[in-house]
Chains A and B, each alone.
Chain A
Amino acid sequence: MSGELREKIIQFIHDEYVDDGTEVDDNTPLISSGLVDSFSMVSLKLYLEEEFEIEIDDDEASTEEFETVSRIQSLVSRKLQERH
């Protein structure tokens, strides 16, 4: 599941945010690099909530939690565990 989860997150980030062929991996800075700006973060939050059927509180959708694919993956995994 974690491999699939990672792939889905990376694919979404590519489709939604990347215009110039930038490669995104587990530790690519997303927010601090400006790839995902504060106005665009909501798309990522909504995607994660719908795709993985989880709820992310606004205070959890922080720039720190969304900084890398790795951190987003941890957040989603935690939410999936809480659900079970």
Chain B
Amino acid sequence: MAYTNELRTRLTQTLEELSAAGLSKDERYIRSAQGVEIEVEYPLASAPRRVLNFCANNYLGLASHPRVVEAARRGLDERGYGMSSVRFICGTQDSHNELEQRLAEFLGMPEAILFASCFDANAAFFEVFFGREDVIISDRLIHASLIDGIRLCEAQRDTYKNSDTEHLEKKLQMWKERARSICVVTDGVFSMDGMIAPLDRIAELCEQYGALLVVDDSHATGFIGRTGRGTHEHHNVMDKVDVITTTLGKALGGASGGLVAGPPEIVSLLRNRGRPYLFSNAVPPAVIYGALEVMEMLTEGTALRDTLEANAAHFRRRMEAAGFTLVQGESPIVPVMFGDARLAADMARSMLDEGIYVIGFSHPVVPMGKARIRVQLSASHTTEQIDHCVEAFIRCGEKHGVIGKDIGAGS
């Protein structure tokens, strides 16, 4: 035993500092299946109450969809609970291979490889392909998992201002003679503000300067673009993105699992050298079966993503008409801006009292002075539920004096 007093004191102090700064993450217990109507125990030990959920990544409403649940149950019945193995020993079933093929086909990519999460996919990627002679140029607002993945490799690193393609071009010019290969990395949709990356121009620049383009499309796969393929479909550059990383943990059923889709050599090398792939258990059969059913549903038609798009447009229209400041965009992530952190937190608390579950985000998750409530729409929300949410916003906004107030919408 060596849990010393010095360490204990230091950790306690850190926890106290987090708490004093209002940055402690307190988890709320959900006592029902995930969905648009959930039962929440908050504050802890209070009587659970039913609320409308507007903060899940359950974009297509598939987290508890009967078809997906039934398929997962079939996976359990036919293939058991766990694989008790990594993929390359005895953890690969035919269904893993089938799902990888379906995902690659859906994304319009040659091949795909599954990981335990998209965090793992991003953590695996860069180290395998890039060394000291190379440079990775990333958007300044990429997801934490990409940042950690880039940190794990020895390549040189540089960044460009969020979605600023002129700045990106300057960086490409600067590095073109200095690096063996250049990799450009962006999110497809930025999770905190819902903005869609200008992938058409980014892809054009990558082609011009010979840079590999890697896009994390976790907040887009399944619903952005005419048939839900993602940001590359939205911008009509399906054939101009080299690598896509994305997740099964959001729109595609919301359970767990992530993937890298790209050229065969990249996928094969990841199977051989991707450390999180080599040293993590295979995705369990129930999740594989559930995800296969999701892929089936998404190829049957676009009804779910169409409904989601209409829901997001309806919510934006009504909130703007009510005088709220939103970050403009087209995705189902709709940030309602409050500026002040305490105001955002107070609004979120009042919204819960109204039966609407949303969360306030403040620094350091978003820039100082840009506190917000991030509303996430789902295809499962009804128009009545969305209207109910807007009306609750109006009542809480009046209570806290925020409606029509001049709040900068820049993310």
Contacts and interface: CB of A to CB of B under 8 A. Distances in A.
A46 B138 CA distance: 17
A40 B367 contact: no
Contacts of A34: 364
Contacts of A43: 158-159, 171, 174
Given A19-B161, A20-B367, A40 B140 contact: yes
Interface in B102-158: 138, 140, 147, 150, 156-158
A42 B150 CA distance: 14
Contacts of A42: 156-158
A39 B161 contact: no
Interface centre among A34, A38, A42 (most CB of B within 10 A): A42
A15 to B, nearest CB: 9
A42 B147 CA distance: 16
Nearest to B142: A39
Interface in A33-50: 34, 37-40, 42-43, 46
Interface majority SS (helix, strand, loop, mixed), chain B: mixed
Nearest to B157: A39
Nearest to B147: A39
Interface centre among B150, B174, B364 (most CB of A within 10 A): B174
Nearest to A36: B159
Contact of A39 (B159, B162, B364): B159
Interface residues of A, number: 10
A80 to B, nearest CB: 23
Contact of A40 (B159, B174, B364, B410): B159
Contacts of A46: 174
Contacts of B156: 42
Interface centre among B159, B171, B174, B410 (most CB of A within 10 A): B159
Contacts of A37: 140, 159
A8 to B, nearest CB: 17
A53 B47 CA distance: 68
Nearest to A18: B161
A37 B159 CA distance: 9
B26 to A, nearest CB: 25
Contacts of B162: 19
Given A19-B161, A46-B174, A39 B138 contact: yes
Contacts of A20: 367, 410
Given A19-B161, A39-B138, A39-B147, 17 more contacts: A34-B364, A37-B159, A39-B150, A39-B157, A39-B158, A39-B159, A40-B140, A40-B158, A40-B159, A42-B156, A42-B157, A42-B158, A43-B158, A43-B159, A43-B171, A43-B174, A46-B174
9 contacts: A34-B364, A39-B147, A39-B159, A40-B140, A42-B156, A42-B158, A43-B158, A43-B174, A46-B174
